A and B are shown apart, each in its own frame.
Chain A
Amino acid sequence: MDAKPQTSVKLVLLGEAAVGKSSLVLRFVSNEFQEHKEPTIGAAFLTQKCQLPNRTIKFEIWDTAGQERFASLAPMYYRNAQAAVVVYDVTKPASFVKARHWVSELHAQASPDIVIALVGNKVDLASDDNGPRVATAEGQALADDEGLLFLETSAKTGSNVQEVFTALANKLPEPAAASAATQETPDHIDLSAAPNKQANCAC
């Protein structure tokens, strides 16, 4: 068995539709990229481990599943999230405006000590003939103002994707601090375990 302590961390994705949230996760989780990916991933949430020198972080990654489109994300989505990735498309300035909105939404709805990464995706598409690009300095300035991690990525080429999650993992509190947070979400009944059919009934 792995001797390093393992911590499960709920991570939520936010950002305008079609900025590449799911592609980013797919790249991180299975190192794949699909050119014409359907807008959602078909699992409850995806998990991927991030190995740090003295501990393992197991990310439980919640995709928006499209519920951000009509501002219909449930409180359940934000609850107990310890990490968030706010994504925008560097070739779509409007998506950067929206990213500011998601950062303030996280401040309003999520736990105050959530660790947030701001990610400018699709850098592979950014070129002079592709119209205006959100400047790296702009992203960096927003991240500095709000205390966010900041990276520019390409889910297509894989550039910087792993780095986003590693940077988040490194910024998460050490297990000692994390176990204090565990007190609030104590162990519960695991319904995935097979129930005892021969119930201890009074027969």
Chain B
Amino acid sequence: MEEYDVIIYGTDLVQSIVGAALSWQGVSVLHVDKSPYYGGASATLSLTEIKQWVESNNNDPSSPFDDVKLYVSRNIDTSKYSIDLSPRIIFSASDFIDLLRTSRVYRYLTIKPLTMFHTYKDDFFDKLASTKEDIFTDQSITVQTKRALLKFMRFVLNYQSESSLPIWTDFKNRPIAEFLQAKFKIDPIYSNELVYTLGLCPALATPTSVGLHRIKKYLTSMGVFGSFPAMFSLHGGPGEIAQGFCRSGAVGGAVYRLHSDVSSVDPDTQSIVLDDGTNIKYREKLVIPSQQQGSREVRRLVAIVSNDCKPWFGEGESAAVVVFPPGTLEGNETAVQCLIFGAESQQCQSGQAVWYLSTTEKGAKGKKELELALEKLESAILRESTEDFDIEVSEEDVILRNGTPLISSVRLGQSLKDFVPREKLQYLAKLQYVQHETIANPVADNVIPIGSSAFDITYDGIVEQAKKIFSQITGSDDDFFNVDFEDEDEEDIGEVKPLGSTSNSNSNNNSNAEPELTFGDAMEV
């Protein structure tokens, strides 16, 4: 009988990290997934695969997804799109970035900057005033508010220090917005930005302790790899990164078996049977996803639109965050968070964008709020992308002067002023679904259940969960990716050359590169 130390069922991001971490410690690992793709509930799938995914979900009562609906336009090549089931962005100062570095999994990825965090208010998107410079130069902020914001920023960077504790301990479990108002006299509009957009907190009830942690993460992320707080991986987020960890695990010696379901588990004999009848023994532990659903859920709406959405991105970038704080969508109590990716993210075709909207609001209310947010995004982008405006020129507009046809500029101005977009935004595909959290309940000593919650659009908590499972297996997390990669190509280490780039860096100065990406500068400090 085949035998492994550990069998892991499911290749969701956390499982993939654990599998790779174990294999690099010399643990023999079999990693099984019933799907023909990596990533499980956080997979990155083509639209073609999404179609199959929708079907298999509707036939699977144990699936954590429900209310799955898909519309796909007939005129698109569905293989040319990558959709993340649980999209996430990476903060520059986070344990997740540290993990990508220590595990060397970043070598399989292409990471790009994300600068723009927009807050929706009064039918407009505000770019965030998130740095000292932004706040000083912003004419719309009163001197009083400026002082309050700067005072708060100084505080939050060291909020865990001994001297700062008395300021917030009383508010620890109380809403962060209340704390900002009481202690720093920060107006609700600005606390919205701090709490929902910088902190990406979902609701008013977010406790101060959590809110401070998250706001600090944003602020300390600025400048770590350049003047942007966050980053994202091309071709997809968690699903792409799960593939990277699984490849790393395979290089470390783990065995991967996709499209193989576990049909039975016997903790007494420490063995499983696969759907093809193969009997496999595990010497130590079996890691399986829990199917017990918790009470929390996240509702998602993914739209592929016929607009490049460039006005929302930072210069040279192709991703942005848009947050609709509570109270901006006919009385929403929970923020609607949106991730916007342009064609350069390799998720869609040129001239298009993918919008990921999500909320933790449940039921019909959540559904309505996502639809409202979608409408607002639609009208905002139509208003902002004037180059898409298609102006009809009639015979009368053309005046012949010296035989040269000209367009009457007066008429042109007139038609621009009265312009009403003739075309609505085209939706090439729309996908909606609800994802339930699952809770890990003990099964047997040698079986470790994994619960999952995909409520965060950052990678917060992923490393912690992976480490916890790793130590349940090995006894401690001391050796979690404690690897000496001795086979590394020495020559490449520290070389400030983008990986995977085929540019001939000697002759080409690459004027397209964003200046903030020069790491030589970053290292000088």
Which A residues are closer than 8 A to B by beta carbons?
1-3, 5-10, 40-47, 55, 60, 63-67, 69-72, 74-77, 79-80, 82, 175, 178-179, 181-182, 184-203
User: Which residues does chain B contribute within 8 Å of A185, judged by CB atoms?
Assistant: 110, 234, 500-502
Interface of B is mostly: loop
| Shortest distance between the CB of A77 and any CB in chain B (Å) | 7
- Do the beta carbons of A193 and B503 come within 8 Å of each other? no
- Do the beta carbons of A195 and B522 come within 8 Å of each other? yes
B224 at the interface (CB under 8 A from A): yes
A195 to B517, CA, bound (A): 11
Which B residues are closer than 8 A to A by beta carbons?
37-38, 92-93, 97, 100-101, 104, 106-108, 110-113, 130-132, 135, 150, 153-154, 157, 219-227, 231, 234-235, 240, 243-244, 246-248, 250-253, 255-260, 344, 346, 485, 487-489, 491-508, 510, 512-513, 517, 519, 522-523, 525
- Do the beta carbons of B500 and A44 come within 8 Å of each other? no
- Do the beta carbons of B489 and A46 come within 8 Å of each other? yes
A147 to B219, CA, bound (A): 54
User: A188 with B234: in contact, given A66-B250, A202-B153 (CB under 8 Å)?
Assistant: yes
Interchain CB contact (< 8 A) of B256 among A7, A63, A67, A195: A67
Considering only CB atoms, which chain A residue lies closest to B520 in the complex? A193
User: A67 with B250: in contact, given A72-B256, A190-B497, A201-B219 (CB under 8 Å)?
Assistant: yes
User: Which residues does chain A contribute within 8 Å of B508, judged by CB atoms?
Assistant: 179
A199 to B91, CA, bound (A): 13
Interface of A is mostly: loop
- Do the beta carbons of B502 and A41 come within 8 Å of each other? no
A76 to B491, CA, bound (A): 24
| Shortest distance between the CB of B171 and any CB in chain A (Å) | 22
Interchain CB contact (< 8 A) of B101 among A46, A188, A192: A192
| Shortest distance between the CB of B17 and any CB in chain A (Å) | 15
User: Which residues does chain B contribute within 8 Å of A192, judged by CB atoms?
Assistant: 101, 106-107, 492-495, 499
* 20 residue pairs A–B, Cβ–Cβ below 8 Å: A40-B251, A44-B251, A44-B488, A45-B107, A67-B246, A70-B256, A74-B243, A79-B235, A179-B504, A179-B508, A185-B500, A187-B501, A189-B112, A191-B97, A193-B494, A195-B93, A199-B222, A202-B135, A202-B154, A203-B154
- Do the beta carbons of B487 and A5 come within 8 Å of each other? no
Considering only CB atoms, which chain A residue lies closest to B132 in the complex? A202
| Shortest distance between the CB of B357 and any CB in chain A (Å) | 25
User: Which residues does chain A contribute within 8 Å of B344, judged by CB atoms?
Assistant: 186
| Shortest distance between the CB of B375 and any CB in chain A (Å) | 33
| Shortest distance between the CB of B498 and any CB in chain A (Å) | 4
User: Which residues does chain A contribute within 8 Å of B235, judged by CB atoms?
Assistant: 76, 79
User: Which residues does chain B contribute within 8 Å of A76, judged by CB atoms?
Assistant: 108, 235, 240, 243-244, 247
